[in-house]
Amino acid sequence: MNIAELQTGLDHPPRPLDLDRTALFLDLDGTLAPIVARPQDVRPDPRRTDLLERLTDRLEGRLAVVSGRPLHEIDHILEGRVIAVAAVHGLVRRDARGRVREAPPHPRLDEARSALRAFVADDPGLLVEDKGLSLTLHYRLASHRGQAARDLVEGLARETGLAHQPGDMVAELRTPGASKGDSIRQFMAEAPFAGAAPVFLGDDLTDEHGFFAVRALGGYGILVGPLRRTTASYRMENVAAVLDWLEEAAR
């Protein structure tokens, strides 16, 4: 999917969720948990854990988390309550039966890792998040270095063949391969998701592939955060609004 193809999304909230016919796909950061400057600062939350447990039960297992985080971090933050997970933007996927499939790492990740670590060495506001199959350069606490960070990552992508994935105050280099949309399509071809109507909630540009996928499969996407160009059909203001909406469905 070409980001240039995005259209302005509808600026109104979604209708109440029908759990009897829905397959629910949820991003994590910016959707289930607020965005923070350092990804390691996101912790388990009792309300979120209880909510996901109840939703999984009501949906008869038709719930998956689709996130850019590594699998072990997702399990830690969600306290292991969600079995079906697509991690590292789809490069790692655990199906509803607990089977894990993981892409092989790109051979030039080490080269990119060294270059990014050298770039952040003299600035405590910069952070390299190493996900094994991808590397994310965070500059939220050093926004004045944002252009230099993006230029570095774009250059490394051209030199190494790694995929460049832009995001909100981050620039990521990832092993080429499955996207969030690919993961959703794979889940929807399997039990217990097959035959349901997919709904995907996400906040970032990396979620647009997921919005595109659920629309093509007869469902809809929900953008979380400020209005922008998107293939999502609805929008919610923030994480609090998402949790309230999901709570209403879980009742």
d(CA 16, CA 198) in angstroms, rounded, equals 14
**Number of Cβ within a 10 Å radius of residue 99:** 8
Helix (H, G, I), strand (E, B) or coil at 159: helix
| Residue 88 and residue 22 share a domain | yes
Helix (H, G, I), strand (E, B) or coil at 94: strand
Q: Could you tell me which of 169, 156, 161 has the C-alpha nearest to residue 129?
A: 169
What are φ and ψ of residue 175, in 5° steps? -60, 130
Q: Which helix (H) or strand (E) holds 66?
A: strand 63-66
Q: Could you tell me which of 112, 167, 174 has the C-alpha nearest to residue 140?
A: 167
CA 223 to chain centre: 12
End-to-end CA distance of the chain: 36
**Tokens describing residue 246:** 């999901």
Is the residue at 92 inside a domain? yes
Instruction: Specify whether the backbone of 138 is left (phi greater than 0), alpha (psi in -120 to 50) or beta.
Output: beta
Query: CATH code at 229?
Result: 3.40.50.1000
> What pLDDT digit, counting tens, does each position of 99-130 carry?
999 999 999 999 999 999 999 998 999 999 99
Is the residue at 1 inside a domain? no
| Residue 190 and residue 170 share a domain | no
The whole-model pTM stands at 0.91
For the chain, what is the domain count?
A: 2
> What pLDDT digit, counting tens, does each position of 49-74 carry?
999 999 999 999 999 999 999 999 99
| Residue 97 and residue 120 share a domain | no
* Banded pLDDT at 7 (limits 50, 70, 90): low
Q: Cβ(25)–Cβ(17) under 8 Å?
A: no
- The pLDDT score that the predictor gives to residue 10 is 60
| Residue 231 and residue 182 share a domain | yes
Query: Is 110 one of the catalytic residues?
Result: no
* Banded pLDDT at 154 (limits 50, 70, 90): very high
Query: CATH code at 155?
Result: 3.30.70.1020
Is the residue at 2 inside a domain? no
What's the half-sphere exposure (Cβ side, CA atoms, 13 Å) at 108? 13
- What does DSSP say about strands 134-138 and 127-130: parallel, antiparallel, or unpaired? antiparallel
- The pLDDT score that the predictor gives to residue 237 is 95
Q: Taking each helix axis as running N to C, give the angle between helix 109-120 and helix 146-160, from 0 to 180 degrees, rounded to the nearest 10.
A: 160
- What does DSSP say about strands 84-87 and 63-66: parallel, antiparallel, or unpaired? parallel
For residues 20-46, average pLDDT: 94
Domain span including residue 190: 8-101+177-250
- The pLDDT score that the predictor gives to residue 39 is 86
**Tokens describing residue 126:** 């910069």
d(CA 72, CA 81) in angstroms, rounded, equals 12
- The pLDDT score that the predictor gives to residue 20 is 93
> What pLDDT digit, counting tens, does each position of 77-88 carry?
999 999 999 999
Instruction: Indicate which residue of 11, 18, 20, 27 is catalytic.
Output: 27
| Residue 89 and residue 39 share a domain | yes
